Structure formats: structure tokens, C-alpha cells
Amino acid sequence: SQTIHQWPATLVQPVGSPLSLECTVEGTSNPNLYWYRQAAGRGLQLLFYSVGIGQISSEVPQNLSASRPQDRQFILSSKKLLLSDSGFYLCACPGGPGTGELFFGEGSRLTVL
Amino acid sequence: AQSVTQPDIHITVSEGASLELRCNYSYGATPYLFWYVQSPGQGLQLLLKYFSGDTLVQGIKGFEAEFKRSQSSFNLRKPSVHWSDAAEYFCAVGAGSNYQLIWGAGTKLIIKP
């Protein structure tokens, strides 16, 4: 089954600094990959999804960008962080054909000060 | 518009008591429905899902949920909660391809000893 690794687990960054969160997937090939953000006390918001290398779709306009340089790597970035970028970022991939399930990584908690 | 509502932000129950977490959805077609659980600071894990067939579905950790089309509901239940069930619970609806789910805001379950 799939395993999703996210790095770093926790990050504290000043406003205006850059960001790079990494997600790597094992146990599957050419998966769809997703970045979600979970703000405190709120549900999950889909930020980006990717169906393959170099293919990124953005769900909401924002200060963030995503890239997929390799089949099993999905990166979330920002050139200049805002306070509102604070949150818990989750990477996910489908559980398998027809399951409808998403597998999630352990998340990266970002605090922007 | 498609949406998922979890009307209870927090629920507190005593250990050993029964539990019901509410989920209502608005969706134009037959929905795929999911319940996920998130322990503090961690990613999400699938508890159970409904695609079709029997409207009462069994999940992991002793949870079950019942799909009621007439009420547009998919409530999660457990007959006797354990302290380890303390977590946040998310209801989600399948929204087309690429596993793009619509998420509820979550219900935080607090267990009293």
C-alpha cells in the first residue's frame, strides 16, 4: 500500500521568507497527488492537485505554488510567506482504483510569525 | 452548490457512552460518502465509506455509519467510545473525478473519563 512522507513536520518561518514543503510517495506509480491546507478549527481546503509530472492544477488563488518534478514528488512552495499561510498542510494520494479513498501523509505544520 | 455540513464543532461524551456524529450533505448525484479521523497533529485515516448497496456501513475501530438519502445524512455512530477515540472527525463527499472530495469542517470529539 501507499506510504506518504512529508518533510518537514514542523516549521516556523517569518513573514516574507520562502517556503518549501516536500511530499514523497512510495508504493505506487504515477499517482494523482494533492496538497490540502487545514487551518485551525476548519476543514480541509484543496490547494493543488497533480495528475502527473509537471501537471499542476490550482484550486484557489493564493500565495502558494506547487511543482511535481518527479513522479512521486510533490512540492509546495512560496516566495514570500504571509501570516495567513499558517496552517497544517497535508499531502494525499488515492488509495487505489475504485476505492475512492485518499491516503494522507502525517502533515507539515507551518507557523508564520 | 455542493457542500458538507457537520453541525457540531465539539462533542463531549463519557467513556463507555454511545456516540453519534452528524453529517449532512448537498450533492446533485448519488454521493460517495466518507468519514475520516484525525488524531492530534497527524494526517487523516479513513474510517469507512459508502458507495452503494447496504446503507449501513461498518468501518474500523468499531464505527458504523448510515446513509439516509431522504435526509441527506451520513451520521457516524459508535455504541461505546474509548478514550482513544478522542480525535477530530471529518465527513466528506466525493465530487467527480480525481478524488476531489468536499469536506465538512470537522467535529472534535472529547472523551470524559
C-alpha cell at B35: 468519514
Cβ contacts of residue B95 below 8 Å, gap of 6+? B2, B27, B101, B102
Q: Touching check for A111 and chain B: CB below 8 Å?
A: no
Q: d(Cα A2, Cα B44) in Å, to the nearest integer?
A: 14
Scanning the structure block, which residue is given the C-alpha cell 510567506?
A81
Chain B residue whose CA is closest to A51: B98
Q: d(Cα B63, Cα B75) in Å, to the nearest integer?
A: 10
Tell which residue, A106, A35, A31, has the closest CA to residue A77: A35
- Looking at residue B9, what is its pLDDT? 93
Length reported for chain B: 113
Q: What is the per-residue pLDDT across B62-92, written as a single tens digit (0 to 9) for each? A: 999 999 999 999 999 999 999 999 999 999 9
Exposed / middle / buried, residue B53 (Cβ in 10 Å: 0-12, 13-18, 19+): exposed
* Window A:58-77, CB contacts with B under 8 Å: none
Q: What is the mean pLDDT of residues A60-87?
A: 93
- Quick check: B8 and B88 in contact, CB under 8 A? no
Is pLDDT at B96 greater than 60 in this prediction? Answer: no
pLDDT band, very low/low/confident/very high, at A1 (cuts 50, 70, 90): confident
Mutate to test the interface with B, among A32, A99, A101, A110 (most CBs of B within 10 A): A101
Mean pLDDT over all residues of chain B?
Answer: 91
First to last CA, chain A: 37
Q: What is the mean pLDDT of residues A69-97?
A: 92
Residue type, B61: K
Is pLDDT at A111 greater than 80 in this prediction? Answer: yes
Helix (H) or strand (E) holding B39: none
- Looking at residue B60, what is its pLDDT? 94
pLDDT band, very low/low/confident/very high, at B31 (cuts 50, 70, 90): confident
For chain A, give the percent of residues with pLDDT over 90.
Answer: 69
Residue B105 burial (CB count, 10 A) = 17
Q: d(Cα A77, Cα A22) in Å, to the nearest integer?
A: 9
- Quick check: A11 and A111 in contact, CB under 8 A? yes
Residue among A4, A44, A94 minimizing CB distance to B99: A94
Residue type, B51: F
- Quick check: B56 and B63 in contact, CB under 8 A? no
pLDDT band, very low/low/confident/very high, at A31 (cuts 50, 70, 90): confident
Is pLDDT at A23 greater than 90 in this prediction? Answer: yes
Q: Give contacts of B103 with chain A, Cβ < 8 Å.
A: 43-45
Contact B46 A51 (CB under 8 A): no
Q: What is the per-residue pLDDT across A68-77, written as a single tens digit (0 to 9) for each? A: 999 999 999 9
- Looking at residue B24, what is its pLDDT? 96
